[in-house]
Amino acid sequence: MAMKEGLIGRKVGMTQVFGDDGNIIPVTVVELGPCTVVGVRTKATHGYDALQLGFSPRKKNATKAMAGVYRKAGIPTPMKVLREIRLQKTEALQPYQVGQTLTAALFAPGELVDVVGVSKGKGFQGGVKRHGWSGGDQSHGSMFHRAPGSIGASSDPSRVWPGHHLPGRMGGDRRTVLNLPVVRVLPERNLILLRGAVPGARGGVVLVRKSVKQTKAQQQAQGAK
């Protein structure tokens, strides 16, 4: 499914706010934008429809190739992050032009969004933490607490099946969280508050886009608003 409009941001951290009913809402604060339109990709020219967005100006250490991309676009300062966001139709590209600045005002409270980020890296971990193995007895003298145990029969197939869950590197993977409600938008501070948690550590780069997969109940609720 093609993506919808979105912006690049940075995860600031988590906090809580009070809703209109007085209940506490756990939220993630995201510094969203401002993003600069670096390029516009059209199906007629490039084979697909997309916006190329830049985020966070780079003050130094820009490569010649990267500096050339921004120079060609007429943007004086290269960006640290460059991402492409594919759109559903060519008509959706009409409001956007190279050099245009997009802010958090693209989103509104109550709207559902998807957040794409890179999960926290945990390094090399065992099966109990990585895959949720139950492990052995924790009693004294067990000598089998968090060990892998049997991973295959000796007679047949006499080998370990490919893809077997085993200890290994954990985290550091691209993850997408769907349908997070927008609680508040503070465009003057380039901040957006999302209900719940988003992937990644504090300071990690995230992509916030309009939701692409909603249930019928969620669609009806969005239409009512």
- Per residue in 19-72, pLDDT tens? 889 999 999 999 998 999 998 988 888 888 899 999 998 888 888 888 888 888
Identify whether 164 is part of a domain: no
- Give every CB contact of residue 23 below 8 A, 6+ residues apart in sequence: none
Among 207, 189, 210, which Cα is nearest to 198's?
Answer: 207
Instruction: Verify that 44 and 116 share a domain, yes or no.
Output: no
Instruction: Verify that 197 and 90 share a domain, yes or no.
Output: no
* Domain that residue 95 falls in: 35-102
Q: What is the CA radius of gyration of the chain?
A: 23
Q: What is the pTM of this model?
A: 0.82
For residue range 130-185, list pLDDT tens digits in order.
Answer: 999 988 898 999 988 998 888 888 888 889 989 899 999 999 999 999 999 999 99
Instruction: Verify that 70 and 181 share a domain, yes or no.
Output: no
Identify whether 113 is part of a domain: yes
CATH number of the domain within which 4 lies: 2.40.30.10
Distance between CA atoms of residues 167 and 119, nearest Å: 18
Identify whether 151 is part of a domain: no
Instruction: Verify that 91 and 187 share a domain, yes or no.
Output: no
Instruction: Verify that 108 and 51 share a domain, yes or no.
Output: no
Identify whether 131 is part of a domain: no
